[in-house]
Structure formats: structure tokens, C-alpha cells
Amino acid sequence: NKQPLFTPELTAEEGTLLRCGQNLPVQPGAQYHHSSHCEPPSQNLHLQENPHRDARSAGFQTALSSSSLSGGVNGCHALSSYPIKQEGYKLGSALGDFSGGMGAGRRELDRLSSGGGSGGGEGNLATVLSLSAMAVTVYPFNNEDGSSLLALSPSSRHSARPNTSGLKRRCLSVASQSASEGIDIAANICSSQMSCVNGLRTNSSSPTAATFSHKPLPGPQLPSPSTSSCLLPLSSSSSSSSVSSVEHCEDVGSMQPGPGVGSSEGLGLLIQPGAVLDSCTATLKQEPVDEFSPSEEELFQHHYHYLTSHGSHCGGHSHHHHHHQTGPPRLSMPPPYHLHQYMGSGPGALLHFQSQQQSPPSGLLAQPKPTGLVEQQVDDREDVFSDKQVCRWIDCSAAYEQQEELVRHIEKVHIDQRKGEDFTCFWAGCVRRYKPFNARYKLLIHMRVHSGEKPNKCMFEGCNKAFSRLENLKIHLRSHTGEKPYLCQHPGCQKAFSNSSDRAKHQRTHLDTKPYACQIPGCTKRYTDPSSLRKHVKIHSAKEQQVRRKVRVKT
DNA sequence: GTCTCTGTTCTT
DNA sequence: AAGAACAGAGA
């Protein structure tokens, strides 16, 4: 159906002329307005009233210039006057004149980004809040006996791909026993874009958290107390009522309690009976399945427990910290890879409470999402933050209006600053689980999984598809051009394919190498790919059930 | 930064 | 089984 606007008969230039620049708004003189989440939280650094285009968008579609694709799909660099944000946007500066006014934008970007915005802002935090933060984020690291957040009950260590539609406001409650600490904590933890720890108090009725006494334990420490959590003021109530500090977390974008929060076992050291750990969640969409995340059932159980024992609710009041860029300033970089590995006795656990927000940026909501392992979106919070691009890098909860801003943020704050370090993705819930990439560029590309950035747009008329990777765009373009460079190597077979993967799959049919065998007793069916096998098993099972039903009816 | 191979998943 | 999309990894 899709007729290429430029056919192979057209020259590359013709094709380029015709196609380049579609749907690519130009904003000359645009200045980079970086909303660093490192700025003091009191300011409106989160909302970009006038979101500016990234100067780097000035890069032209040059990436395809080296493409060997037939049909004249040869890139736009020569003739396009539009700053197409494509894979090659990095070339923007190199292109010089091509980038036009955008070059100035880039310089402005550099100036701004180097000039500040990365300050600490530690002073903005009250001591008590810092202590609360420690209670939430540091303490888990220090457990030596594995009974902390890191020590997950087997039941909590299973995968969950929850359809969170039923949890538009997920309130998670955990009431657990702390045998060793003797601390009564009424914690209202709203972990999401901001992790809110509210109402930390001691048995002595002191409203301060200063008496929170956890003994430092050996083991890796966080570089510094993470203050990424939004720490609401302590409850003024000195009552021993465990429900005294039920707060409303309405600025919560999303969260999905991770292993620690979801597991009362995990929090057992911290929370005494009656203590309340209440997560009011709001999930924009699902991040990749975290096999260590609590299941929906667990979440519900905790919630139910809380509701029944404390009569709590999530629709509280007060403490309306509506920061779009949420959370206090970052104080430190995420812990290095080895620390995460240490924490990794419950991978994801150390993603502390932020990691529990299993919601990828909402920007992906509008796009057809890959249905693979990487991300599963569940738009169950259209009412909150649905228009925000949220950074879920560990210890970060920056939110932006525009996806581009999030992309810039990720690159600037989380990738560029990891010079010389391992190139590890610390995105909450990332299935890579802190396995570093061997190159910065790889991490950069990988982050598109989370940001949803797809800078490689198909230039064919009527095709609005976009791809995160240039290679995949090239393969896609072959579906337009009909190019099938991968010939089946089986003697006598003339089949051709647009990519080697499909060819390999096809060739397996020749070799009868069907590694995916049906495990159903008596069934000898085999398939070349797991997808087909699953389909078969499904049908097989359905048939068997039918047979069983018939047998039952007869008897 | 790109190419290529490879594997997975979903859809047709 | 093919087509398409996505993404990891090594060269």
C-alpha cells in the first residue's frame, strides 16, 4: 500500500528533496533550557513553560547517507533545510552551516550546561529529612544479615506483569515487626516520581527522626545519603497511633513498590507493628518486568492489610508538593556498579522506593510500544502526570513536558557525567540489571528504550514509523523498497529476506532444525521459533480442555 | 558510530 | 512460516 514517494528511479537528491523535513518543526534560535533536577526543589524547574528544542536537533539526517539501500534512500544531508532529529543529530555541530541558527543553540546549550544547574543543593534539606532519607535509602545497604529490603521472601521474588489498571491509586501498606530496632515508624512512603517518607517517629514520642537508631553495619555504603526521596515533613502528631501520618501523595506520578516495600519481610527491620508504610501509587506505564518486584497480589495484600487494620486511604490531604520535577536535589551519583551488585541480593531492592514506580515515561503512551521484554506499558494513571516525561534513573525523578527534554536530561545528567566509569543503566526496573555497556554510545542508545526516543524516522510518504536505532530503520526501509539482500543459502531456495534474522529463521525450516519442541506428553511438534511453539501450546491446551469437558459431560 | 549477526516477540 | 519490530552484542 505504501507507495514510496521516490522510487528507485529517482535520484537520491530527488528523493531527498521530496521527503526530507516532514513534520519537523523548526524553531530557529531556540535555546536550550535545561531543567536540571539538581537545582533547588523549590523552584519551578520542572515545568518547561516554553519547551525549547534541543539544539542538537540541528543535526540533519545524515546518518543514512552511507546507507547502501537501494531506491535512493540516501539521506537528507545534502538538501534538507530542516533540522531533522535523526540518529545523526550529533553531527549537528560538524555540519556547520547546515545547522544554521541551531549552532548557536548548541553553544547556548553548552554554556548553560557548563555554567551551573548541577549544584548540589544539599542545604535545602532539613536534617530530619536527611535522616529520614537515610532511613529509607541508606539503611537497606547496611544490613548484614540479609533481612533488610534486600532480603526478599521467595514469594516476593517472582515476576509480575501486573495489569495495574485496577490500581489507579495503589496504596501499599506494610506493617511489620522490628524486633531489633525498637523503632516505631509510621511511615508514609509515597515512592514514585518522588519518594515521600512521611512521619518517622520514635517510641519516645519525639517527633524527630534523630532518635532513629539503626546501627551502622558493615558493607558497602552509599556514596552519600540519597535524598532523592521526597521527604514530607514529619507528622506533627506525637500520638502513638500508627495511623497518625497518613498522608496524601498526590504528586506521585507512579510507583510500584519494589521488593522492599512490597515485602513486609523486607521492611521488618524498620517497621514495627502498627507502623504504616503507605505507598500511594500512580503508574503511568509499566517498565520492564522486574522479576523481583512484588506481584500484584502482594501489593494488594499489603494494601488490604493496611486498609483493614488502619483504615487508611490514599486520598489524604495536605503536603501537596506538586513538583513536576520532583524530589530534592541529587546529592550524588548513583552508586557504582559493584554497589548495585552488592545490593543486588535483591536486584531492584536498591532501586529503593523510586524503583518501585514501574512506569516508563508517558511519552511512550502515545506510541505503539514494543511488546517484548523491555517495557510494558500500562497507562493506568491518565489523570496524573500522563503528560510528563519522567526520568526514572535511580535517585532521579525529574519530569519534563517534552520527551526531548527528558532525552537531553538523561544524556547530560546521567550519561555524560559517567565519564570513565562503567556505562551502566540505572533506570529503575531496567532489565539489564546494572550490567554495564562497554561503550558510552551503547548506553546512550539503550536509554532510548526508556526514554522512548526514536530519532530515526521513516521518510516514506505516509509512513510515520520511527526507530530508536538506525539499523532498524534501514531494515524497515527495505519493506518500502523491497530490497531483500539476504538470500537463503539453502540449495535451490530462492527466498530472500530483508534481514539476516528472518533469513536465519527461514533457513532453519530447511535444516529442520526446530529447537522449540512441544513439551506436552505425546506431542512431537517442533517449531523454529518460540513464538510459534507458544501458539501451538495454547491451541493444544485448549483442545485438551475441550476433550476433558466432553469426557466429563459423558460421564 | 556503523555494520552485522543474532535472538525474541508479536502479528499476519 | 513469513514479516516486522526491537534490541543486545561483537567486530
Please list the residues that pair with A195 across neighbouring strands: A229
In this complex, the residue with its CA at the shortest distance from the C1' of nucleotide C10 is: A438
**pLDDT value at residue A470:** 87
Q: Report the pLDDT averaged over residues A392-398.
A: 85
Q: Report the pLDDT averaged over residues A496-514.
A: 80
Cell numbers placing A158: 517472582
Per-residue pLDDT at A498 exceeds 70: yes
Chain segment A142-157, per-residue pLDDT in tens: 332 333 333 333 333 3
**pLDDT value at residue A451:** 85
Q: On chain C, which bases lie within 7 A of the protein's CB atoms?
A: 1-10
**pLDDT value at residue A428:** 83
Give, as one character, the DSSP assignment of residue A379.
-
Per-residue pLDDT at A503 exceeds 60: yes
Q: Which of residues 526-545 of A touch strand B (CB under 7 A)?
A: 529-532, 534-535
Rounded distance in angstroms from the CA atom of residue A506 to the C1' atom of nucleotide B2: 26
CB A225 within 8 Å of CB A134: yes
Averaged confidence pLDDT in chain A: 48
**pLDDT value at residue A515:** 66
In this complex, the residue with its CA at the shortest distance from the C1' of nucleotide B9 is: A372
Q: Report the pLDDT averaged over residues A481-493.
A: 83
- pLDDT tier, A421 (very low <50, low <70, confident <90, very high otherwise): low
Per-residue pLDDT at A208 exceeds 80: no
Q: On chain B, which bases lie within 7 A of the protein's CB atoms?
A: 1-12
Chain segment A32-51, per-residue pLDDT in tens: 333 333 333 333 333 333 33
In this complex, the residue with its CA at the shortest distance from the C1' of nucleotide C7 is: A446
What end-to-end distance do the CA atoms of chain A give, in Å? 55
**pLDDT value at residue A352:** 33
**pLDDT value at residue A419:** 64
- pLDDT tier, A398 (very low <50, low <70, confident <90, very high otherwise): confident
Please check whether strand C approaches the CB of A435 to within 7 Å.
yes
In this complex, the residue with its CA at the shortest distance from the C1' of nucleotide B6 is: A501
Taking the mean position of all CA atoms in its chain, how far away is CA A19? 33
Rounded distance in angstroms from the CA atom of residue A19 to the C1' atom of nucleotide B7: 33
**pLDDT value at residue A96:** 32
Cell numbers placing A245: 501520618
Chain segment A97-109, per-residue pLDDT in tens: 333 333 333 333 3
Per-residue pLDDT at A261 exceeds 50: no
- pLDDT tier, A386 (very low <50, low <70, confident <90, very high otherwise): low
Chain segment A306-356, per-residue pLDDT in tens: 333 333 333 333 333 333 443 333 333 444 433 333 333 333 333 333 333
Give, as one character, the DSSP assignment of residue A423.
B
Per-residue pLDDT at A232 exceeds 60: no
Share of chain A above pLDDT 90, in %: 0
Q: Mean pLDDT lowest for which of A133-147, A440-454, A457-471, A479-493?
A: A133-147
In this complex, the residue with its CA at the shortest distance from the C1' of nucleotide B5 is: A500
Q: Which of residues 335-374 of A touch strand C (CB under 7 A)?
A: 368, 370, 372, 374
In 3D space, the residue among A292, A285, A323 whose CA is nearest the CA of residue A196 turns out to be: A323
**pLDDT value at residue A168:** 30
Q: What DSSP element (H or E) covers A400? A: strand A399-400
Please check whether strand C approaches the CB of A476 to within 7 Å.
yes
In A308-328, which positions are buried (b, 16+ CB within 10 angstroms) versus exposed (e)?
A: eebebebebeebebebbbbbb
Cell numbers placing A267: 521492611
Give how far Cα A273 sits from Cα of A117, A157, A269, A310, Å.
43, 23, 11, 11
Q: Is A163 helix (H, G, I), strand (E, B) or coil?
A: coil
Cell numbers placing A282: 500512580
In this complex, the residue with its CA at the shortest distance from the C1' of nucleotide B7 is: A501
How far apart (Å, rounded) are the C-alpha atoms in residues A230 and A242? 21
Please check whether strand B approaches the CB of A66 to within 7 Å.
yes
- Output the furthest CA–CA distance in chain A (Å, rounded): 84
CB A252 within 8 Å of CB A198: no
**What residue has cell string 532539613?**
A126
Per-residue pLDDT at A19 exceeds 80: no
CB A194 within 8 Å of CB A252: yes
Rounded distance in angstroms from the CA atom of residue A531 to the C1' atom of nucleotide B12: 13
CB A268 within 8 Å of CB A177: yes
**What residue has cell string 509510621?**
A186
Task: Tell me the residue type at A147.
Answer: S
Rounded distance in angstroms from the CA atom of residue A498 to the C1' atom of nucleotide C3: 9
Per-residue pLDDT at A436 exceeds 50: yes
Per-residue pLDDT at A212 exceeds 60: no
